[in-house]
Amino acid sequence: MLTEVIANRYVAPLHEGGSLPGLVEADDLGTYVVKFTGSAQGRKALVAEVIVGELARALGLRFPELVLVHFDPAVAGDEPHQEVQDLLRASAGVNLGMDYLPGARDFTPEAARTFAVDPVEAGRVIWLDALTVNVDRTVHSSNLMIWPTFGIAPPRLWLIDHGAALVFHHRWDASAPEKAYDFRHHALGGFAPDTRAADAELAPKVTETLLREVTAQVPDAWLADEPGFATPDEARDAYVGYLLARVEASAAWLPTDFPSREQLAAEDADRAARTERGRPDWLKRVPDLHGKPAAEQDWSVHLE
């Protein structure tokens, strides 16, 4: 089961996260990025974080350790933002913490130009995302981190944030296990990912035994109100059954066709050009205040 810790200091909210996670220090001397049960994404996002994160680790992918964080809103009594305080007060009890990676940086399109990803590793990450229907690891939002090892070894790619995965659990009756998704714009699609090799390697490892071990990590309280299931264990059975069926149907959903990084750049440029052509004339003449100082703008055409 996941290790349980007690939060003893709320360091800061992380405003760049859509769920407004927070950096928290705990009684085990660890520092964690905590996602709260009171966030707008709800507990399903935390269920996805546990299942996909623990599955990733079991398959040998790099993913930070997860812990269950007992959180008392009183430890954040000095937090000045009302929005954050409301979230924390709604999250008293057990929340989900992910080990903080100090010094890590986002895997951005700019970073991707200088950071090489092996096709085998790229294929394995994409295979996991396709299996778990993670629609939030794109070229625009990679949810990947580059973590330096300070001279011990080359920097490594780490997976984070799987709250948007397992989209089928939002409508259990409307998503067939063999359904394919468009992963052409995956963050690692430009690295010649070998997804067929990943399928041959990883599919046999995703067994009923492994999935039961993974789903057992989810606290009962986060599954207790799952519509359509009488008990948390019934909900766990549904996750196990769906993911097993999806593994068996991998030939139907395995992503194999990815545009190159050059093609993606060309697509973005074409999309921007089409958007510009569709803008009304008056909007096209709005000055680009980010391109040069206001004093250097030619305002005459806007004052006709």
Integer Cα distance of 59 and 47 in angstroms: 18
Domain boundary assignment for the chain: 3-253
| Mean pLDDT within 79-101 | 95
Taking the CB of residue 180, how many other CB atoms lie within 10 A of it?
Answer: 12
SS (H, E, C) 206-219: CCHHHHHHHHCCCC
Average pLDDT, the chain: 89
Integer Cα distance of 193 and 58 in angstroms: 20
Name the pTM for this structure: 0.86
pLDDT exceeds 90 at position 254? yes
Taking the CB of residue 290, how many other CB atoms lie within 10 A of it?
Answer: 5
pLDDT exceeds 60 at position 286? no
Instruction: Identify the band that residue 9 occupies on the pLDDT scale cut at 50, 70 and 90.
Output: very high
- Whether the Cβ atoms of residue 163 and residue 112 lie closer than 8 Å to each other: no
Picking from 44, 2, 37, the residue whose alpha carbon sits closest to that of residue 20 is 37
Supply the pLDDT for residue 282.
61
**Residue 130 phi, psi (nearest 5):** -70, -40
Supply the pLDDT for residue 267.
77
pLDDT exceeds 60 at position 186? yes
Supply the pLDDT for residue 292.
44
**Residue 32 phi, psi (nearest 5):** -130, 145
Following DSSP, what letter does each residue of the chain receive, concatenated?
A: --EEEEEEEEEEE-TTSTT--EEEEETTS-EEEEE-TTSTT-HHHHHHHHHHHHHHHHTT---PPEEEEEE-GGGGTT---HHHHHHHHTT-EEEEEEE--TT-EE--HHHHTTS---HHHHHHHHHHHHHTT----BSS---EEEE--TTSS--EEEE---TT--GGGGSGGG--TT-----TTBTTGGG---HHHHHHHHGGG--HHHHHHHHTTS-HHHHTT-TT-SSHHHHHHHHHHHHHHHHHTHHHH-------HHHHHHHHHHHHHHHHHTS-HHHHTS--TTTS-GGGS--GGG--
Integer Cα distance of 79 and 71 in angstroms: 14
Q: For residue range 14-23, list pLDDT tens digits in order.
A: 977 678 999 9
| Mean pLDDT within 271-295 | 60
